[in-house]
Amino acid sequence: MSTLRIVWLYPDLLSTYGDRGNLLVLAHRARTRGIDVEPMQVRSDQRIPHTADMYLIGGGEDGPQAVAAERLLDDGALNRAAEAGKPILAICAGYQLLGESFYANGRAYAGLNILDLRSDRGPSRAVGEIAGDAAPQLGIGPITGFENHGGRTHLGEAVQPLARVTAGVGNDGATEGAWAGHVIGTYMHGPALSRNPRIADLLLAWAVGTDPAHLPPIDDTWPERLRAERFQAVTAAQ
C-alpha cells in the first residue's frame, strides 16, 4: 500500500469529546511505522469517497445524529465500505446509527443496519469513566474511555460485545460496544484510540492486510502511562 487513506466522516455534525483525536492517533501510528497517510475530512454536504481504506465517525447530539443517519443512508458509501471489509470505527452517536435503529429527538430513527443492534433511551444518563475486559479474539487488552450518553444499546446475534464492563455503563451495564468483521462501535470518547492504542493498531492492521503482531513496534510509554493512570482512577473510585 503506497498511501493509507483514512476518512473522518461528517466532522461538522459528529465530533464531540475529542473524537478528532482518533484520526490523529491513527495517522501518527501509521507514519511512525513508515506508512504514508492521507487523512481526509468529509463534511455532511459532500459525497463519501469509495476509495478510502478506513472510515471514522464520531459522536454528537440528537439533531446532528439524525441528520447524519439520513445523509449516510442516502449516500450509501459507508454500507458499501462495510460490505467490502473496510475498517470502520464508530463512536457513541456514530455507533448507534450503525445499527438497525436509534432514538433521537423523542422518536426512533432508521439506522444503517451495518451492525446487528438497536439503541433506545436508558433510565438515566451514563457519564464518567468506563473500563472493561475486551473480547479476547481481538487481542487489545483491557479498554478505558469516557462515556456521556443517554442511550442503551441491545446487541443481536450477528455481533459480539467489544468488552465486558468492569466500570461504567456502556451498552447496558454489562457489555460495552460491539464488533463484527472489521467494524468496531463503542461509547468510548477520550478519544478512544489515545487510551487504547491496540485498537488503533488493530484497525491499521486490518487496513493494510496484516496481523497486528506483524506491525513494527513503536514506543508506547506515554499511552501506557495514561492507561495506568485511568485504570488506577477507576479502581480508586469503586
Distance of CA 164 to the CA centre of its chain: 16
Q: In this structure, are residues 181 and 139 in contact, taking their beta carbons and an 8 Å threshold?
A: no
Alpha helices in 52-120 (DSSP H): 62-75, 77-83, 93-96
Pairwise CA distance, residues 49 & 109, whole Å: 25
Pairwise CA distance, residues 69 & 232, whole Å: 37
Q: Is 92 among the catalytic positions?
A: yes
The label of the residue with cell 444518563 reads 125
Catalytic hit among 28, 149, 182, 189:
189
Pairwise CA distance, residues 67 & 84, whole Å: 25
- Helix (H) / strand (E) containing 86: none
Of 108, 94, 110, which is closest to residue 17 (Cα–Cα)? 94
Q: Is 50 among the catalytic positions?
A: no
Catalytic hit among 28, 50, 92, 154:
92
Which residues are marked as active site? 92, 189
